[in-house]
C-alpha cells in the first residue's frame, strides 16, 4: 500500500490514466499527422514512469522509518561483537516489516484520500498529488529538526520559508534523512554503553588474574549474548523503536 502511494507521488497523469488505453507503437518520426506529438508525449511519460519505478525502493527507504531502524540494528550487532549475525538480509527484512507497520497509518491515509479517489477518477492527478503529499510531509516534519533542514537552505542559498507549506518536499526529505541519521546514531550509542561496560569489567578481571593474552572480547561475548537474551532484547528493541515514532 505504501509503495503504491509513493509511486503516485512521482507518477505522471497520462501514465496513470493509461489503464484502459492501448499503448502507442514505439516508432518515432519527425513527420506525421497531428496526433504524432501526443504519441511521443505518452512514450516519454512511460519511460519516465519506468525510471521512477526503478528509484521507488530508494525513495521509500529514505522518506520512511527504515533509516533509523537499520542503523540501530547495526549498532546492536556491533555492540554484541557479532558483526555478521544476524545476517544483513535478516536485519533488512525485519527493518522493512517494522517500517510497514510504522508507516501503515500514513499509507492508509494516502490510499484513502488520494490513491483510491484518483483510480476511481473522482479527482485529477494534480489534486491527488497534493493530497498524497500531506500525510507524508506531516510525518517527516514531525521527525525533522529545524537545524538539519536549515543546512540545505544554507547550501542552496534559498530564501528561508515562512511556514511549513513553503518548504519543498525534496528539501524536507533531505533534512529528514539527516535527522534520522542523527537520531539513529544517538540511540545506537545509548545501546552500546551497557555492552561497553561489560567489556571493561571482563577486561579488568582478566588483567587482575594475569590473563593478559586472552582477548577480553572472546570472554565477554557469551555474557553479552546471555544478557541480551535474558532481557528479551529483540522484543524490547523493536518495541522501543516503534514507540519512538509514535511520540
- pLDDT (tens digit per residue) in 73-87: 888 888 887 777 888
Q: Is residue 27 part of a domain?
A: no
Mutual angle of helices 2-10 and 36-62, in 10-degree steps: 130
Peptide bond into 184 cis (omega under 30): no
Q: Is residue 28 part of a domain?
A: no
Q: Is residue 9 part of a domain?
A: yes
pLDDT given at position 45:
63
Higher pLDDT, residue 125 or 136 = 136
Mean local confidence (pLDDT), 132-150: 83
Q: What domain range includes position 215?
A: 2-22+35-246
Nearest CA to 132 among 107, 99, 168?
A: 107
Tell me the backbone φ, ψ of residue 210, rounded to 5 degrees: 80, 15
Question: Sorting pLDDT into bands at 50, 70 and 90, what band is 13?
Answer: very low
Q: Tell me the C-alpha distance between 115 and 123, whole Å.
A: 9
Q: Is residue 30 part of a domain?
A: no
Q: Tell me the C-alpha distance between 244 and 247, whole Å.
A: 6
Nearest CA to 98 among 72, 76, 116, 77?
A: 72
Mean local confidence (pLDDT), 132-147: 83
Mean pLDDT in the chain? 75
Higher pLDDT, residue 193 or 128 = 193
Contacts of 233 (CB under 8 A, 6+ apart): 76, 227
Task: Return the DSSP state at 166.
Answer: G
Give me the number of domains the chain comprises: 1
Report yes or no: 195 and 79 within 8 Å, Cβ to Cβ.
yes
Report yes or no: 39 and 24 within 8 Å, Cβ to Cβ.
yes
> What is the end-to-end Cα distance of the chain in Å, rounded?
23
Q: How far is CA 38 from CA 35, 80, 95, 121, in A?
A: 5, 60, 43, 21
Higher pLDDT, residue 148 or 43 = 148
Mean local confidence (pLDDT), 195-212: 78
Q: Is residue 189 part of a domain?
A: yes
Q: Is residue 7 part of a domain?
A: yes
Q: Is residue 79 part of a domain?
A: yes
Highest-pLDDT range among 51-55, 116-120, 191-195, 243-247: 191-195
Burial class (CB in 10 A: 0-12, 13-18, 19+), 26: exposed
Whether residue 246 has pLDDT greater than 80: no
Q: Quote the pTM value.
A: 0.69
Distance of CA 47 to the CA centre of its chain: 25
- The alpha carbon torsion through 41, 42, 45, 47 (nearest 10 deg) reads -110
Amino acid at each position: 500500500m505504501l509503495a503504491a502511494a509513493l509511486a503516485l507521488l512521482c507518477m505522471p497523469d497520462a501514465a496513470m490514466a493509461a489503464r484502459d488505453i492501448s499503448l502507442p507503437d514505439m516508432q518515432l518520426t519527425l513527420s506525421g499527422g497531428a496526433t504524432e506529438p501526443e504519441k511521443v508525449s505518452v512514450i516519454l511519460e512511460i519511460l519516465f514512469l519506468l525510471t521512477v519505478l526503478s528509484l521507488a525502493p530508494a525513495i521509500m527507504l529514505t522518506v520512511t522509518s527504515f533509516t533509523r531502524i537499520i542503523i540501530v540494528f547495526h549498532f546492536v550487532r556491533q555492540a554484541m561483537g557479532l558483526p555478521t549475525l544476524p545476517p544483513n538480509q535478516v536485519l533488512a527484512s525485519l527493518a522493512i516489516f517494522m517500517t510497514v507497520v510504522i508507516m501503515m497509518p500514513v499509507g492508509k491515509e494516502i490510499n484513502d484520500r488520494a490513491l483510491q479517489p484518483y483510480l476511481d477518477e473522482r479527482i485529477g492527478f494534480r489534486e491527488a498529488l497534493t493530497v498524497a503529499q500531506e500525510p507524508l510531509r506531516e510525518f517527516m516534519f514531525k521527525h525533522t529538526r529545524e537545524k538539519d533542514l536549515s543546512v540545505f537552505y544554507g547550501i542552496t542559498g534559498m530564501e528561508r520559508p515562512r511556514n511549513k507549506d513553503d518548504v519543498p518536499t525534496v528539501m524536507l526529505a533531505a533534512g529528514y534523512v539527516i535527522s534520522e541519521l542523527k537520531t539513529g546514531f544517538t540511540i545506537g550509542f545509548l545501546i552500546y554503553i551497557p555492552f561497553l561496560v561489560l567489556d571493561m569489567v571482563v577486561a579488568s578481571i582478566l588483567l587482575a588474574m594475569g590473563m593478559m593474552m586472552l582477548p577480553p572480547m572472546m570472554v565477554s561475548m557469551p555474557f553479552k549474548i546471555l544478557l541480551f537474551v535474558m532481557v528479551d532484547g529483540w522484543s524490547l528493541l523493536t518495541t522501543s523503536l516503534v514507540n519512538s515514532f509514535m511520540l
